[in-house]
Amino acid sequence: MNAALAKLYQSIAPRLAAVEQEIAETLACPQPEIASLLEVSGRYGGKRMRPALVLLVASELGCVDARHERLAAVTELIHLATLVHDDVIDEADMRRNVSTVNAAHGNYEAVLLGDIIFARAIHLLAKLGDRRSLLVLTRAVSTLCEGEILQNRHRRDPDLSEATYYSVIGGKTAELYAAGAGLAAHVAGANEGVVEAFSLFGEKLGLAFQIIDDCLDVTGDEREVGKSLGTDLRNGKMTLPVILFRESGAAAERALVRKVFSDAVDPAAAGSLRELLVEKGFIRAAARVAAAHVEEGLEALRRAVGRPLPAMEAIGQYVLERSL
Amino acid sequence: MNAALAKLYQSIAPRLAAVEQEIAETLACPQPEIASLLEVSGRYGGKRMRPALVLLVASELGCVDARHERLAAVTELIHLATLVHDDVIDEADMRRNVSTVNAAHGNYEAVLLGDIIFARAIHLLAKLGDRRSLLVLTRAVSTLCEGEILQNRHRRDPDLSEATYYSVIGGKTAELYAAGAGLAAHVAGANEGVVEAFSLFGEKLGLAFQIIDDCLDVTGDEREVGKSLGTDLRNGKMTLPVILFRESGAAAERALVRKVFSDAVDPAAAGSLRELLVEKGFIRAAARVAAAHVEEGLEALRRAVGRPLPAMEAIGQYVLERSL
């Protein structure tokens, strides 16, 4: 964990440790065949942004308890299940410097393992006994997968609209952030207006997170990003900087985007596009859009709660500034 | 639907129609990209054994209502989600004479579609608002997948023990039957002893169903079974008739099983084994084991309820007699 993240998580460190414990217990299994598989996914690690968001929302409202730890663990377990399935889908070999489950044990077991993690996550959620959490999070999982299907349908589509782009990232990333933040407020006993404001903040934070991911794919540090740069372009995945570039100009810009997104991979064209995105300021422009999303979420929160929310400002700032 | 099944389902036909409606509504989607995918899985059809069991248990207890229809729909949706994922795992092209989702739309979308169906099933279950149903069914999904992993680990294992065989089929098949039958009694307001007896009956019925499947793979009618015969042997999947054969004799029997289960496929050895299983009575012996499971389940029910249970006897008889 880097210094910025450690600072952000300082106030909730003991709670996060309890979440880790709950995740480990949920993934425990007496059968050695299954236990070794579940351990692989446990090693995926990651930033734990989703559980941290749940805990920070609850502590911002002055009312964080063991139920939030459980809710936080569930959001991370759901995320973990989707990662295991994403790796099958992408035929990925490595994630965060660990062999993926599909690479180590085959697609057969990776598909089933994702299902097991998801089922156990919802089992844990059922123990929490909060009807709204169950309804919102199961809906979120469906929406998340629908966003990924939409993304797949538009792979290598150079004309993907900004509206469809937002449907994709709204589903695959922002929905789970929105669910986590809104439910954290709900479980803390907040009124409906406050719950909805936190849900909107979560959504905006998730959108910003994904847009910054788009930018890091072009300008990031490979070791920190954890994958080789330019992956999105190579895979024909449309990103906000590319949309802004495409919409900024005339025929030449459109033609270059078309070339990069065509089936025949052209590394030279992709290289030119990446250079132009940086030099002409489209990475910075996309980052400004991300910042506007965060500000919009914070503004809604301030209106609903009627006071500044330092922990939410801090997590927003972290999302915008990470390694950019 | 064949005549035997139509007769079995006669008393619950209107309820089953309502279940079909609930399944269709759960799989509905305004986005055309997703809707077309969800329709494919809807066409998988099948015998609807799991929802029928839920409804028959409830009517046997004289207390079937809309909540049972919902519970029944959830069990079938969970089954449907596992079928979609099984087809990815088995790289199957056809199921029940329809192209599989993975064959028509690729593994990417088939993995996500299974996740969507599962998430929507649990969302529907959350609406039912019964904590025990949520806990039992999410646990059942995890156990089901664990059974499939265990089966995969022992593929082509000629020495698979009868105990491990039962762990596999207990997980992958019997668990969902047990959950459905037990929860149907629970939702009908039965006392704990009766709920447990129905759960045990469901488990035994599921074991019998799977053992009869084992037998049908050797002696069935290809059109009715819906797949080519001998698939289990070709795939190195251990079945009860083969275990009984192996345990019946001396070195020769063991050697033949070893040969059939070795990596190099030997159609002649598999053919000999299939003939011996029929001629020497091992198919009939396995069917008798299935019948004993059903009888054990019925006996537990009669003890708990204190009277004959004609609908449970009928479903037991159907499972044992289908196309054998």
- Tell me which residue in B120, B123, B149 faces A34 most closely, judged by beta carbons: B149
pLDDT value for B280: 94
Q: Return the amino acid letter for B320.
A: L
Domain A1-129: give its CATH code: 1.10.600.10
Q: Which of A84, A67, A79 is closest to A22 using CA atoms? A: A67
CB contact under 8 A, A145 and B37: no
Q: Is the CATH number of domain B130-324 3.10.20.30?
A: no
Q: Is the pTM of this model over 0.80?
A: yes
Of A115-119, A236-240, B50-54, B247-251, the poorest mean pLDDT is in: B247-251
Local structure of residue B174 (DSSP, 8 states):
I
> B140 falls in which pLDDT band (50, 70, 90)?
very high
Which residues 147-166 on chain A approach chain B with CB closer than 8 angstroms?
148-150, 152-153
Cα gap B303→B299, rounded to integer Å? 6
Is the pLDDT at A324 greater than 60, yes or no? no
- Tell me which residue in B120, B126, B148 faces A112 most closely, judged by beta carbons: B148
Query: What are the DSSP calls for A195-235, one per residue?
Result: HHHHHHHHHHHHHHHHHHHHHHHHHS-HHHHTS-TTHHHHT
Percent of chain B's residues with pLDDT above 90: 71
Residue B123 contacts A where some CB pair is shorter than 8 Å: yes
Measured between beta carbons, the chain B residues lying within 8 angstroms of A29 are 146
Measured between beta carbons, the chain A residues lying within 8 angstroms of B131 are 126, 129
Where exactly does CATH 1.10.600.10 map onto chain B?
1-129, 130-324
Is the pLDDT at B274 greater than 70, yes or no? yes
Our CA dihedral for A217, A218, A220, A226, rounded to 10 degrees, sits at 30
Measured between beta carbons, the chain A residues lying within 8 angstroms of B148 are 112
Q: Which of A185, A187, A177, A103 is closest to A144 using CA atoms? A: A177
Cα gap A150→A211, rounded to integer Å? 17
Q: Which of A92, A125, A129 is closest to A110 using CA atoms? A: A92
pLDDT tens string B44-80? 778 899 999 999 999 999 999 999 999 999 999 999 9
Determine the distance from the C-alpha atom of residue A219 to the mean position of all C-alpha atoms in its chain, rounded to a whole number. Answer: 19
Percent of chain A's residues with pLDDT above 70: 94
Local structure of residue A173 (DSSP, 8 states):
I
> B31 falls in which pLDDT band (50, 70, 90)?
confident
> B86 falls in which pLDDT band (50, 70, 90)?
confident
Residue A105 distance to chain B (closest CA, Å): 10
Segment A287-306 shows an average pLDDT of 97
Query: What are the DSSP calls for A41-70, one per residue?
Result: HHTT----HHHHHHHHHHHHTT---HHHHH
> A96 falls in which pLDDT band (50, 70, 90)?
low
- Tell me which residue in A111, A118, A138 faces B88 most closely, judged by beta carbons: A111
- φ, ψ for residue A221 (rounded to 5)? -95, 120
> A76 falls in which pLDDT band (50, 70, 90)?
very high
Cα gap A87→B92, rounded to integer Å? 20
Domain A131-324: give its CATH code: 1.10.600.10
Where exactly does CATH 1.10.600.10 map onto chain A?
1-129, 131-324
Is the pLDDT at B322 greater than 70, yes or no? yes
Cα gap B122→A123, rounded to integer Å? 10
Tracing tokens 């299994």 back to the chain, one arrives at A29
pLDDT tens string B114-134? 999 999 999 999 999 999 999
* Other Cβ atoms within 10 Å of B290 Cβ, number: 25
Question: What are B264's two structure tokens?
Answer: 């190099």
pLDDT tens string A185-213? 999 999 999 999 999 999 999 999 999 99
A152 class by beta-carbon count within 10 Å (0-12 exposed, 13-18 middle, 19+ buried): middle
In contact, A214 and A235? CB cutoff 8 Å: no
Cα gap A41→A32, rounded to integer Å? 15
Is the pLDDT at B26 greater than 80, yes or no? yes
Is the pLDDT at B324 greater than 60, yes or no? no
Instruction: Report the relative pairing of strands A98-99 and B94-95 from DSSP bridges.
Output: unpaired
Residue B134 contacts A where some CB pair is shorter than 8 Å: yes
In contact, A294 and A189? CB cutoff 8 Å: no
CB contact under 8 A, B126 and A131: yes
- Tell me which residue in A89, A135, A142 faces B108 most closely, judged by beta carbons: A89
E strands present in chain B? 94-95, 98-99
CB pairs under 8 A between A and B: 128
CB contact under 8 A, B115 and A112: no
- Tell me which residue in A127, A139, A146 faces B34 most closely, judged by beta carbons: A146
Whole-number average pLDDT of chain B: 91
Residue A129 contacts B where some CB pair is shorter than 8 Å: yes
pLDDT tens string B175-231? 999 999 999 999 999 999 999 999 999 999 999 999 999 999 898 766 665 566 677
Which residues are registered as beta bridge partners of B94? Answer: B99
- Helix%, strand%, coil% for chain B, nearest 5: 80, 0, 20
Measured between beta carbons, the chain A residues lying within 8 angstroms of B82 are 115
Could you give the ipTM of this predicted complex? 0.93
Mark B224-247 as b/e (b = at least 16 C-beta within 10 Å): ebeeebeebbeebbbbbbbbbbbe
pLDDT value for A97: 65
Which residues contact residue A171 at a Cβ distance below 8 angstroms, ignoring those fewer than 6 apart?
A: A143, A144, A145, A146, A147, A148, A150
pLDDT value for A166: 98
CB contact under 8 A, A115 and B120: no
A74 class by beta-carbon count within 10 Å (0-12 exposed, 13-18 middle, 19+ buried): buried
